[in-house]
Amino acid sequence: MLVTDLDGTLLDSNGEVHERDRTAIAELSRRGIAVSVCTGRMYSGTRAIAHEIGVRGPVACIDGSHIVEVATDRELHARHIDSSALTPLIRQLREAELAAFAFADDTVLHDDDGLPFLGYVSTWSRRAEPLPSVLDAEAFRGRSVSAVVALGIAETVEATASFVRALLSDALQVITFSVSRNGLHGTSGMVIRATGATKGTALAWIARHYGLDTSEVVAVGDWLNDIPMLRAAGRSFVMAQAPDEVKAAATDELQADFMSGGGIAEAADRAGLL
Q: Which of 117, 75, 124 is nearest to 103 (CA)?
A: 124
Decide: 99 and 113 in contact? Cβ < 8 Å. yes
Right CATH for 83-194 from 3.40.50.1860, 3.40.50.300, 3.30.1240.10, 3.50.50.60:
3.30.1240.10
The pLDDT, as a whole number, for residue 137 is 79
Burial of 86 (C-beta count, 10 Å sphere; 0-12/13-18/19+) = buried
> Across the 274 residues of the chain, what is the mean pLDDT of every consecutive 10-residue run?
97 93 98 97 96 98 97 96 93 95 95 94 93 89 92 96 95 92 84 96 98 98 96 98 97 96 98 97
Q: Measured between alpha carbons, how far is 233 from 203 in angstroms, rounded to an integer? A: 8
**Inter-helix orientation angle 19-30/263-270, to 10°:** 40
Give pLDDT, residue 180.
76
Please state which architecture CATH assigns to domain 2-78+197-270.
3-Layer(aba) Sandwich (3.40)
> For position 207, what pLDDT does the model report?
98
CB burial readout 194-220, b (16+ within 10 A) else e:
beebbbbbbbbbbbebeeeebeebbbb
**Domain residue spans in the chain?**
2-78+197-270, 83-194
